[in-house]
């Protein structure tokens, strides 16, 4: 086998020169760069979650390259708050009284809990003590925020009475956490936000909810299951609500905290808010993204995550057929090119039960391991991230923007017509 490999090694001077050049080019490239996401997973934390809308990118370009009115009022010339650029928008879109933005939702939960008196008890259902990917574990976040956790109910069933029994002198808060990355099915029941709010009012206790993904549109209008919206929690009377900016909202990484002015003010004046504050690029991208939501149709058209989530299966099928036809024409060698229809997922700990119809291009090359093909695609320019299944490379159209189809095609053709590929694959 080793001899065979030696035979395949090309040590001619043009090949060596090409290899050296390749190494130098590699060193000159940015470490962090755009990739084509062909995994079919829309919100992939390792791939940077939501791509920004064009309007958000434009806004970032302008503010990033310049000075800005980040903390100055152009009206009065006096100092103002960076949060003001998005606070009114967030209130308008959700119905909340006040809002604040921090680094991510983990920071939002931590900060909000820390802002209620330290050491005081927070009551949570055992069915909601979640772990979200990337080591966000609710019990640990609570412990480090200084709150002490009081667990009530069981994994599958928690009733209002369970919370009620646990309320005591030291209780500071009732907490509800959206089980965004799993579902308890079957013999299960949880207390709704509105029931928890009723209980909170009865005892004079605030209610906080970590809604996770932060959906602002009614997804059931676009053929998806109904996912509670942020507005629903506000309408239910929840006092403090936290969610992510880069999941289903489709904006930059951020943790949004909205709710009653009294509590948001308390959070704003917490010393830790300064340590978790967002930079001007985040504020800019978030403002531009939120503005798109003022017109729901526009949001669905221009926010990449919403667009990918709602694009009909037939459109993906048509795109897959067109790409496959081109690949059959242009790839040299004994390729097997098919179209599959496996489901794709939302990912990023969102909508765990939702599987989206999708189309994949399945690629195989005789005599070459599929893992090797996937690796070559990963090293391409731009890198293409694909799945490998049953000795085939799968390119899922659901997580790719239609505008990128041409680039995807050209990248694949370029990658697999390099000399090495032809020799190992088509020729041998
Ligand atoms: C995703 C998620 C988090 C963590 O949010 P980040 O923005 O990734 O920090 C916290 N809670 C819930 C319920 C989530 O779904």
Give the tens place of pLDDT for each residue, 36-84: 999 999 999 999 999 999 999 999 999 999 999 999 999 999 999 999 9
Cα pseudo-dihedral 86, 88, 92, 98, rounded to 10 = 100
Answer yes or no: pTM beyond 0.85.
yes
Residue of minimum CA distance from atom 14 in ligand 1 = 212
What tokens were used for 68? 């800005």
Residue of minimum CA distance from atom 11 in ligand 1 = 212
- 106 in contact with ligand 1, CB cutoff 6 A: yes
SS3 387: strand
- 212 in contact with ligand 1, CB cutoff 6 A: yes
Which H or E run contains 419? helix 419-422
Contact yes or no for 388/336 (Cβ under 8 A): no
Residue of minimum CA distance from atom 13 in ligand 1 = 212
Mutational test site, ligand 1, from 349, 350, 352, max ligand atoms within 8 Å of CB? 349
- 48 in contact with ligand 1, CB cutoff 6 A: no
- 210 in contact with ligand 1, CB cutoff 6 A: yes
How far is Cα 345 from Cα 43, in angstroms, rounded to an integer? 9
- 103 in contact with ligand 1, CB cutoff 6 A: no
Distance from Cα 236 to the centre of ligand 1, integer Å = 21
- 180 in contact with ligand 1, CB cutoff 6 A: yes
What tokens were used for 270? 């917490």
How far is Cα 179 from Cα 338, in angstroms, rounded to an integer? 37
Q: What is the pLDDT of residues 217-273, one digit of tens each?
A: 999 998 888 888 999 999 999 999 999 999 999 999 999 999 999 999 999 999 999
DSSP 141-158: HHHHHT-EEEEES-SSB-
- Picking from 329, 216, 291, the residue whose alpha carbon sits closest to that of residue 59 is 291
Contact yes or no for 218/299 (Cβ under 8 A): no
Look at residue 426 in the predicted model and tell me its pLDDT.
41
Place of tokens 């904006």: 251
- What angle, rounded to 10 degrees, do the helices at 280-292 and 84-94 form? 30
- 104 in contact with ligand 1, CB cutoff 6 A: yes
Q: What is the pLDDT of residues 175-219, one digit of tens each?
A: 999 987 888 888 888 899 999 999 999 999 999 999 998 899 999
Q: Which atom of ligand 1 is nearest to the CA of 130?
A: 13
Q: What is the pLDDT of residues 303-335, one digit of tens each?
A: 999 999 999 999 999 999 999 999 999 999 999
* Residues contacting 312, CB < 8 A, separation 6+: none
């Amino acid at each position: 086998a080793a001899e065979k490999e030696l035979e395949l090694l090309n040590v001619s001077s043009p090949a060596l020169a090409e290899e050296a050049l390749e190494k130098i080019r590699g060193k000159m490239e940015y470490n962090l760069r755009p990739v084509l996401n062909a995994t079919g997973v829309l919100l992939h934390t390792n791939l940077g979650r939501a791509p920004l809308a064009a309007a958000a990118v434009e806004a970032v370009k302008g503010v990033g390259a310049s000075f800005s009115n980040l903390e100055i009022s152009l009206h009065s010339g006096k100092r103002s708050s960076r949060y003001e650029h998005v606070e009114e928008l967030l209130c308008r879109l959700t119905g909340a009284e006040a809002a604040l933005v921090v680094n991510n939702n983990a920071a939002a939960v931590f900060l909000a809990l820390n802002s209620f008196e330290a050491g005081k008890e927070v009551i949570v259902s055992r069915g909601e003590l979640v772990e979200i990917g990337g080591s966000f574990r609710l019990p640990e976040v609570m412990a480090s925020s200084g709150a002490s956790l009081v667990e009530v109910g069981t994994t599958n069933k928690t009733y209002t009475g369970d919370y009620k029994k646990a309320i005591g002198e030291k209780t500071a808060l009732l907490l509800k956490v959206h089980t965004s990355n799993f579902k308890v099915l079957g013999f299960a029941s949880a207390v709704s936000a509105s029931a928890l709010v009723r209980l909170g009012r009865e005892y004079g206790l605030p209610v906080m909810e970590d809604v996770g993904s932060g959906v602002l549109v009614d997804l059931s209008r676009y053929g998806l299951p109904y996912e509670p919206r942020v507005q629903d929690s506000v309408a239910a009377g929840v006092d403090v609500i936290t969610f992510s900016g880069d999941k289903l909202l489709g904006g930059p990484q951020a943790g949004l905290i909205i709710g009653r002015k009294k509590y948001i003010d308390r959070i704003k004046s917490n010393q830790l808010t300064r340590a978790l504050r967002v930079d001007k690029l985040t504020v800019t991208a978030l403002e531009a993204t939120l503005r798109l939501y003022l017109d729901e149709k526009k949001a669905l058209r221009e926010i990449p995550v919403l667009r990918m989530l709602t694009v009909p299966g037939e459109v993906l099928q048509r795109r897959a057929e067109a790409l496959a036809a081109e690949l059959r024409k242009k790839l040299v060698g004994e390729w097997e090119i098919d179209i599959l229809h496996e489901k794709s997922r939302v990912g990023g700990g969102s909508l765990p039960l939702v599987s989206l119809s999708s189309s994949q291009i399945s690629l195989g090359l005789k005599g070459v391991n599929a893992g090797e093909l996937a690796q070559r695609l990963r090293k391409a320019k731009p890198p293409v991230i694909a799945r490998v299944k049953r000795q085939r490379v799968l390119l899922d159209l659901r997580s790719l923007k239609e505008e990128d189809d041409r680039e995807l095609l050209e990248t694949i053709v370029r990658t697999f017509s390099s000399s090495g590929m032809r020799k190992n694959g088509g020729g041998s």
